[in-house]
């Protein structure tokens, strides 16, 4: 049990269980089957966490190399804007082939955005926070140029499926995120890629001297981050059936970084946990749903979430636990009590 308590993911998992238990008692339907599909609060949490899981996956890989990507929210906005603009121009918005092609185009644009970030960081040498801040600011403007400053509405059933559809009783958005997680786990834990990323994050110079293509790996993770953000943007815009360049992905980069930190990934690079990131993203979504379920006033929602997050981060700190719980350890008989 001591080993379990000391595991870095124990407390996030414990708090997630507590949140789910609270929702079991506060929601009318926690999990139920309707029309052959699973519905309920738990399914809403899994479906709602899909965009954040995707963005956090890319963020994890970037942070593992010692970088940061602040542009993911803007890339989401660009991806949704491109998709909705092209779909709105279709003669038949319910044509599956053209819609899939347009989704591929939107993701390709997102990959190019990631390539831009990677080139600025790895080839030109700009600090990651500055390089991605450029696209974070400019990306919103690009998205608004694409949509001409308007909210573009679409009525495409194939496009909406990626956000609100079901397959094998499970939400398609959740299955897409799960497939992405499985792919990254396979690449980072069943090949040498994970070790190479940790090497680059630990010491880019030493990695380069050891023959590791640090620049290529750095560019690759930013491209992946852009691609995952673009996919998340498609899910977001398909969910609301429109392209909202201002609201799409707004501040999601902060939630993604928080999910990465909760999952145990070191912000200085060199160590990362995909499973921890997924757990952190689902926990953040569950916390948002729980806040509404227990009736926390809207003006106190952010403060409530901040308190929970601070408590969680403190519980994960070995130094904090040692200082707090060490005071309650039994002292040997006759031992002097410090003044």
Kindly report, residue by residue over 200-243, the tens digit of the pLDDT: 888 777 777 777 888 899 999 999 999 999 999 999 999 999 99
- What does the chain come to in residues? 339
How many other C-beta atoms lie within 10 A of the C-beta of residue 259? Answer: 30
pLDDT at 306 over 90: no
Q: Per-residue confidence at 338, pLDDT binned at 50, 70, 90?
A: very low
Question: What is the number of alpha carbons within 13 Å of residue 147 lying toward its C-beta?
Answer: 27
pLDDT 10s digits, 8-37: 778 888 888 998 998 888 877 888 887 778
Report the chain's C-alpha Rg in angstroms.
22
Contact 282, 13 (CB under 8 A): no
Between CA 284 and CA 289 the distance in angstroms is: 9
pLDDT digits (tens, 9 = 90+) for 171-189: 999 999 999 999 999 999 8
Farthest-apart Cα atoms in the chain, separation: 87
pLDDT at 339 over 50: no
pLDDT value, residue 213:
83
Average pLDDT, the chain: 86
Q: Which residues contact 335 (CB under 8 A, 6 or more apart)?
A: none
pLDDT band (50, 70, 90) for residue 271: confident
Predicted confidence (pLDDT) per residue in 308-334, tens digit: 777 777 766 667 767 776 655 545 544
Q: Band of the pLDDT at 2, cuts 50, 70, 90?
A: low
- Cite the DSSP H helix spans in 190-273: 193-202, 204-209, 214-240, 252-262
Please give the distance of CA 147 from its chain centroid, rounded to a whole number: 25
Task: Encode pLDDT of 46-101 as tens digits.
Answer: 999 999 999 999 999 999 998 999 999 999 999 999 999 999 988 889 999 999 99
Mean of the pLDDT values across residues 107-114?
96
Greater confidence (317 vs 143) lies with: 143
- Is a pLDDT exceeding 70 seen at residue 159? yes
Q: Is residue 288 very low, low, confident or very high in pLDDT (cuts 50, 70, 90)?
A: confident
Give the pLDDT confidence score for residue 325 in this predicted structure: 61
312 token code pair: 């969680």
Give the helix/strand (H/E) hosting 39: strand 37-39
Sequence-ordered list of residues with C-beta below 8 angstroms from that of 62, at least 6 positions apart, any chain: 68, 69, 128, 221, 222, 225
With contact defined as beta carbons under 8 Å apart, do 105 and 86 qualify?
Answer: yes
């Amino acid at each position: 049990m001591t080993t379990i308590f000391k595991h870095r993911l124990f407390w996030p998992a414990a708090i997630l269980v507590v949140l789910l238990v609270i929702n079991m008692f506060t929601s009318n339907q926690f999990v139920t089957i309707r029309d052959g599909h699973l519905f309920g609060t738990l399914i809403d949490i899994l479906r709602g966490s899909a965009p954040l899981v995707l963005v956090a996956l890319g963020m994890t890989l970037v942070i593992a190399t010692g970088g940061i990507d602040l542009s993911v929210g803007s890339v989401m906005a660009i991806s949704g804007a491109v998709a909705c603009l092209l779909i709105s121009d279709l003669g038949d918005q319910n044509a599956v082939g053209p819609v899939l092609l347009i989704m591929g185009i939107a993701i390709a644009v997102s990959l190019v955005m990631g390539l831009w970030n990677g080139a600025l960081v790895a080839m030109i040498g700009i600090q990651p926070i500055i390089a991605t801040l450029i696209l974070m600011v400019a990306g919103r403007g690009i998205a608004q140029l694409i949509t001409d400053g308007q909210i573009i509405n679409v009525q495409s059933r194939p496009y909406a499926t990626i956000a609100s559809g079901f397959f094998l009783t499970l939400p398609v958005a959740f299955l897409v995120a799960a497939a992405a997680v499985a792919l990254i786990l396979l690449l980072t834990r069943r090949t040498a890629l994970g070790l190479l990323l940790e090497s680059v994050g630990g010491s880019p110079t030493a990695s380069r001297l050891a023959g590791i293509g640090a620049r290529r790996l750095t560019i690759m993770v930013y491209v992946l981050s852009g691609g995952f953000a673009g996919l998340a943007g498609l899910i977001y815009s398909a969910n609301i059936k429109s392209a909202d360049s201002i609201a799409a992905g707004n501040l999601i980069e902060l939630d993604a970084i928080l999910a990465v930190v909760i999952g145990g990934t070191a912000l200085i690079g060199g160590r990362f946990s995909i499973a921890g990131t997924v757990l952190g993203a689902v926990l953040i979504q569950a916390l948002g749903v729980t806040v509404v379920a227990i009736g926390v006033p809207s003006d106190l929602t952010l403060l409530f979430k901040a308190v929970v997050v601070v408590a969680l981060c403190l519980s994960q700190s070995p130094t904090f636990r040692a200082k707090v719980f060490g005071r309650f350890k039994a002292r040997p008989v006759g031992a002097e009590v410090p003044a």
